[in-house]
Amino acid sequence: MARQKHNEDDDEDMYTFSEDYRSQQKAKYMSAGNNVRLASHDKTRVAYFHDEGVGNYHYGERHPMKPHRLTLTNHLVLKYGMHDKMEIFQPRRATDDEILNFHSSDYVDFLKRVTPDNADNYEKLFQRFNVGDDCPIFDGIYDFCQRYAGATIEASRKLIANGADICINWSGGLHHAKKSEASGFCYVNDIVLGTLELLRYFPRVLYIDIDIHHGDGVQEAFYSTDRVMTVSFHKYNGDFFPGTGHIDEIGSNLGKYYSLNVPLRDGIDDEAYVWMFKEVIDAVIGHFRPSAIVLQCGADSLGCDRLGCFNLSIRAHGQCVQIVKDYKIPLLVVGGGGYTVRNVARCWTYETSVLTNTTLSEDLPPNEYRDFFKPDYKLHPDLKGRVENQNDRTYLLKVRQRVMEQLRYLDSAPSIQMQEIPPDIQGFLDGEHEQQDAINDSERGKNRRNPTGGRVVHEGEWYENDKDNEGESHDSSWSS
């Protein structure tokens, strides 16, 4: 009987949300002493950034990354009439200097010069910069990077200028790119560039990632600072790309405890995912008290994704966006992964409606890309139940417990002195880390984990059609 009672309590803990706790956390965050810019309760100002040409690039015939998904998304957004609910911007391209705020000069020079026609001349650099099968050289590669990165940078500056409460750039969210190399279909890390812009004005930035793949490039960039907290919800078994995202990757030096990972197993469903997301994000915001949020909405965490193995519906994915929006903190929303093109477009269209507080018809409006959405032509197709759910109650409660234990080390929000930040903000952060390194070694211990752990390519990461990822991979529990 005692054992049965324990299980019932666990079940109640997991699936019954504590409204009192959430109300307390929101009241704590929104108290007058926080000096946070809040959106109006009556009207949320949304800015939408879309480059008309960003969907015209092509990674290769058999490559799963299809920039054309951005064109489909934009058409649905316009056909649903949501342009009337937002300011629409055609962003300028990022300059070399802006990209160099994070990326190394030799890597940027390589991206600028290499083309399919002259690739043989640069072949000796391919391994160094990690280009090849998953990150191919294609026509206009650097131009493509400038377009999506420029949109994220412009969106960040719009938030800084208080020109909007929410900024959207679905072409952004390429979270795997590193300082000196491409990774996971990503060449320039627009999220890091946008976050560096936000740090010029906002004391603390929270990064949230709901892509099925770990947001390793962003975590690595801010692994040693307490001004950015990275929170990633992703599949993890040590093998699934990119091979990082263990729950013990918590940050180092000043950033110790400011990297938070929520490792999940195959087949997680709507109820469990949204429960975990709410529990973690409520606690993170209550402890970290961010001044701005960057939300990466990778759609490969949807059910039936070409490279994914979760069972999330578009509504549940959008519910996570709604949870973040409800905090009324300046918010930058970007895209990310997503390899079943028709579902990516549906998802980001629906999430645009969430962000603009618009109710959409279940029947997709007539548009020139209508054939992509047959046979149902619906906004919310059935995407659930395709993969067996390996996330049992015991495992999820264990993950939640570990997350809450980590957050308890953050007794209060870090004390950030408001000061002018030099133009070379990356150098500013590096100097900040060096200055505190010796102190943190003694105060916080030396038990640190390498955030990268090497590059791992999972054999199930490549498919030729939407039906090829049945029975993809096996998960294993992380060690406690």
Residues belonging to the active site: 176
Q: Which residue has the tokens 């979760």?
A: 310
Return the amino acid letter for 55: G
**What's the rounded Cα separation, in Å, for the pair 263 and 267?**
13
Bridge partners, residue 434, by sequence: none
Peptide bond into 414 cis (omega under 30): no
Q: 323's torsion region: left (phi>0), alpha (psi -120 to 50) or beta?
A: alpha
**What's the rounded Cα separation, in Å, for the pair 324 and 277?**
10
Q: Which residues are annotated as a binding site?
A: 134, 184, 211, 213, 300, 339
Spatial CB neighbours of 450, under 8 Å, sequence gap ≥ 6: none
> How distant, in Å, are the alpha carbons of 42, 147, 158, 197, 333 from that of 38?
12, 30, 15, 19, 17
| DSSP for residue 255 | G
How many Cα atoms sit within 13 Å of 21 on the Cβ side?
14
**What's the rounded Cα separation, in Å, for the pair 252 and 441?**
9
Number of H helices, E strands in the chain: 14, 8
Q: Which residue has the tokens 């160099």?
A: 100
The token pair that represents 450 in the structure block: 């390498």
Q: Which residues are annotated as a binding site for substrate?
A: 134, 184, 339
Bridge partners, residue 89, by sequence: 49
Cβ atoms within 10 Å, residue 188: 28
| DSSP for residue 130 | T
CA-closest candidate to residue 277, choices 328, 224, 232, 315: 232
With H, G, I as helix, E, B as strand and everything else as coil, classify residue 206. strand
Cβ atoms within 10 Å, residue 363: 10
Q: Which residue has the tokens 């791992």?
A: 456
**What's the rounded Cα separation, in Å, for the pair 70 and 83?**
15
Residues constituting the chain = 480
Cβ atoms within 10 Å, residue 323: 18
With H, G, I as helix, E, B as strand and everything else as coil, classify residue 384. coil
**What's the rounded Cα separation, in Å, for the pair 221 and 102?**
9
Positive or negative, the CA dihedral 76, 78, 80, 82 is: positive
**What's the rounded Cα separation, in Å, for the pair 469 and 447?**
37
